[in-house]
Amino acid sequence: MPITAATLAQIIEKWAPPSLMASWDNGGFQAGDPCQRVKGLLVALDVDSSSLAAARRHGANMIVSHHPLIFKPLRDLRLDRPWGALAAKIIQENLIVYCAHTNLDQAPGGTDDLLAKLLGLDQVQVLRPSGEAGENYPGRKEGDKVLGFGRIGELKSPLSLAELVQWVKRRLELDHVRVVGNPDQRVSRLALCGGSGGSHLKEAIRQKAHAFVSGDIGYHDASLAQEAGLGLIDAGHLGTEKHLIPALSEYIRRELALRRADIDVICHHPQELFRLE
């Protein structure tokens, strides 16, 4: 049966309702016509020249991404600049772009729950519940389940920080991570946050985590972790979020199968932007 982009958005929003989106975020439809029929769907971490080329190669006319195409207010759409040229290609090729960002981070089974599962945490709780004082997030619960950003829980068996580093690299399929802390310190209580989690570091310290796993950790956050005696593993923005893309792709495939919709769902595996030399 034919499926429109609006119907696909409804499928995604069943898992990650827009009401979970942080006030500073910009999700939902960002390009194209929601009423347009979807011929093929590409699921990607980012909307960029790589994902556009993949959509073209596979005949997909809709891209569902985790990171928003349009995040900050636009100042221009000049074709002689990278972003303007990218936007022009999207419009010229009549592509539809839909983004699910912080709502998918917070949703049960979303980014942070996936990361907690991959790292084998028990007794998992939300690190920073939505709607806390001073937070610009909507307060929200799913039944009795508290929603929010980051997770904290217990490792099945305590590890040294050095052992935890190897565990994180193996489970997240990474060659390298950045580490702060004593390699011999014992870790049983672990906090984590997918993507850029530096803003949740103080909460990990407050909740007496022994170590914190996230991405895009800055110098001053690393210094704070060292002073607090908190082991810190920066697994990268990509490293902590890349497993979301196959999970989202598989979820959409299952939902489309229930509707007997014959649409190819292509999982576009993100590539690391940085290289070590």
Q: Domains of the chain, with CATH numbers?
A: 5-101+242-267 (3.40.1390.30), 108-241 (3.40.1390.30)
Among 150, 155, 158, 159, residue whose Cα is nearest residue 125: 150
The whole-number pLDDT of residue 142 equals: 58
What average pLDDT is seen over the chain? 94
Task: Write the pLDDT tens digit of every residue in 60-92.
Answer: 999 999 999 999 888 899 999 999 999 999 999
Share of the chain above pLDDT 70, in %: 95
Q: What is the mean pLDDT of residues 228-244?
A: 98
Residue 126 scores a pLDDT above 70: yes
The whole-number pLDDT of residue 131 equals: 64
pLDDT-based confidence at residue 165 (cuts at 50, 70, 90): very high
